[in-house]
Amino acid sequence: MANDIHWILDDAGLAEHCAAWQALPFVALDTEFMRVDTFYPIAGLLQVSGGDGAYLIDPLRISDWRPFAALLEAPNVVKVLHSCSEDLEVFLRLSGSLPAPLFDTQLAAGYLNLGFSMGYSRLVQALLDIELPKGETRSDWLQRPLSELQVRYAAEDVLHLVEVYRALMARLAPQKVAWVLEDGAELVANLSREVAPEDAWREAKLAWKLSRQQQAVLRALCAWREREARARNQPRNRVLREHSLWPLARTQPDNLVALARIEDMHPKTVRQDGETLLKLIREAAALPPEQWPEALPEPLPVEASTLLKKLRAVGQREGERLDIVPELMLRKKTLEALLKSGFPNGPYQLPDSLRGWRRELMGQALLDCLAAEGESA
Catalytic residue numbers?
Answer: 30, 32, 87, 153, 157
Q: What are phi and psi of 293, to 5 degrees?
A: -70, 160
In 35-82, DSSP assigns E strands to: 42-49, 54-57, 78-81
Q: CA 277 to CA 79: how far, in whole Å?
A: 44
DSSP track, 183-212: HHHHHHHHHHSPPPGGGGGGGSTTGGGS-H
Q: CA 74 to CA 68: how far, in whole Å?
A: 10
Which SS3 state, helix, strand or coil, does residue 135 take?
helix
- 288 prior amide bond cis, ω within 30: no
Residues forming a β-bridge with 27: 79
Q: What are phi and psi of 150, to 5 degrees?
A: -60, -45
Residues in contact with 166: Cβ distance below 8 Å, sequence separation at least 6, in sequence order: none
Q: In angstroms, what CA-CA distances link 203 with 113, 139, 368?
A: 31, 33, 31
Q: Where does residue 28 rank: exposed (0-12), middle (13-18), buried (19+ CB within 10 A)?
A: buried
| List of long-range contacts for 244-247, beta carbons under 8 Å, 24+ apart | 244/269, 245/204, 245/205, 245/218, 245/221, 246/204, 246/205, 246/206, 246/207, 246/209, 246/210, 246/218
Strands 54-57, 5-8: pairing is parallel
Torsion over CA of 309, 312, 317 and 321, rounded to 10 degrees?
A: -160
Q: What is the largest CA-CA distance in the chain?
A: 70
Amino acid at site 247: P
